[in-house]
Amino acid sequence: MNRVPGTILGGNQMNKLFLAAGLTALMGTSAMAQQIGVSVARFDDNGLTVMRNGMTAFDEANDDVSLQIEDATDDVAKQLDQINNFIASGVDAIIVNAVDTNATEAMSNAAAAAGVPLVYVNRQPVNMDTLPEGQAFVASNEIESGTLAAFQMCRQLRAEGKSGGATAYMLMGQLSNQAAVQRSKDFHDVIGMDMCNFITLIDEQTANWSRDEANDLMTNWISSGEPFDAVFGNNDEMALGAIQAMKAAGISMDDVVVGGVDATSDALLSMQAGEMDVTVFQDLAGQGAGSIETAIALINGDEVDQTVFIPFKLVTPDNIGDFIE
């Protein structure tokens, strides 16, 4: 608006100026932010908390993103309700960390029918091969996770002179979860290899990703009196629960090879203390941030690969320094 210096704007002119200024400020802030609804399987899971922190850090660093993060509390029906509520509220995209990966088809159908982009994060949907347009999956390749951990455990057992025969237990995650199924299969595949077939699996049961449940299960196994040389947990929380049970039973951690997945801070501390032998770094914070970047790309109509993998990395006492801040 051009005017002569020193002149006074009339009432209508002043109102228009204030309105224009207000709209400009609004457009430069939250009004233009992409609204993204996020449903996380459970807030009280340490690994998923790292993933969620990656999301909130991305949110805080980017004014053009506004996240609404909900806790599904491990309830499939609640998660479906959250997704439907996100759609009804008019979000620009939805991110889902699935409670049950076998229930994702209904989620995909609801989002596709509403024309809302959907990104699955960390847990692979059962309908991965038939995801509708505008949907994607961001995670790490679970074939790598269990394979890296199991093979390193095999190598360590051989190095300790146990290639003549060793026994192991396996703690599995929730069996409704694709990661638990794949990581367990990875372990079986590795001990089926010629190099590692000296390892015999005594038992495998689910501890539902929980440290407390793993502690109880390991305590029961120890009470059976069966000697064992290794324990593999589908995640670090269960491996740590097993370690707690073994220490309580007076078992020396020098006598057992323990492996997990995620490289959580507690697991790294345990490794520094000489308890945990192997874990696998899953860049959960990177997955969280990557899921938002993928959602934004889908909102903008950009071309996006339906599968975005963030690599796993093996962690042992030899390279733990690379993973500790």
Q: Tell me: the pLDDT tens digits for 201-237?
A: 999 999 999 999 999 999 999 999 999 999 999 999 9
pTM: 0.73
Q: How far is the C-alpha of 279 from the C-alpha of 233, rounded, in Å?
A: 9
1 pLDDT tier (thresholds 50, 70, 90): very low
Segment 31-74, tens digit of pLDDT: 578 999 999 999 999 889 999 999 999 999 999 999 999 999 99
- Cα 231-235-241 angle, rounded to 5 deg: 60
Which residue has 């309580």 as its token pair?
Answer: 248
Among 64, 120, 60, 73, CA closest to 96 = 120
The domain 142-282 is classified under which CATH number: 3.40.50.150, 3.40.50.2300, 1.10.3720.10, 3.40.50.1220? 3.40.50.2300
What would the pLDDT profile of 155-178 be if each residue is shown by its tens digit?
A: 999 999 999 999 999 999 999 888
> What CA dihedral angle connects 104, 107, 108 and 114, to 10 degrees?
180
Residue 201: count other Cβ atoms within 10 Å of its Cβ.
15
* Torsion-angle region of 42 (φ positive above 0: left; ψ -120 to 50: alpha; else: beta): beta
For residue 243, give the H/E element and its range: helix 236-248
Residue 270 has pLDDT above 80, yes or no: yes
CATH number of the structural domain 34-139+284-310: 3.40.50.2300
Q: What's the pLDDT score for residue 107? A: 97
CB atoms closer than 10 angstroms to residue 81 = 14
- Looking at residue 319, its pLDDT comes to 97
pLDDT band at 18 (very low <50, low <70, confident <90, very high): very low
Range in 11-15, 87-91, 181-185, 194-198 with the lowest mean pLDDT: 11-15
Q: What is the mean pLDDT of residues 260-284?
A: 95
CA 96 vs. chain centroid, Å, equals: 11
Q: 23 and 78 in contact (C-beta within 8 Å)?
A: no
Region(s) of the chain under CATH 3.40.50.2300: 34-139+284-310, 142-282
